[in-house]
Amino acid sequence: MADQKPLFKAPYDIKDVSALFAIVAFVLIISAILGNNLFGLFQDNINFG
């Protein structure tokens, strides 16, 4: 336990984290737009009464 790492030392590079976050955000935005469009087509084609 004497060889313990510092608590707040970041083991990652902030550029890597920001790039990964940008990729994830981009994928989520694209999937939200596609899902919204597909659900709109589904609502147009199916008569809900």
Q: What is the pLDDT of residues 7-27, one digit of tens each?
A: 666 667 777 888 899 999 999
Which three-class secondary structure string do you get for the chain?
CCCCCCCCCCCCCHHHHHHHHHHHHHHHHHHHHHHHHHHHHHHHHCCCC
CA-to-CA separations, 4 to 1, 9, 10, 11, 35, in angstroms, rounded? 6, 11, 14, 14, 47
Which of the two residues, 49 and 19, has the higher pLDDT score? 19
Residue 4 pLDDT: 67
| Collapsed DSSP state (helix, strand, coil) of residue 25 | helix
pLDDT at 37 over 80: yes
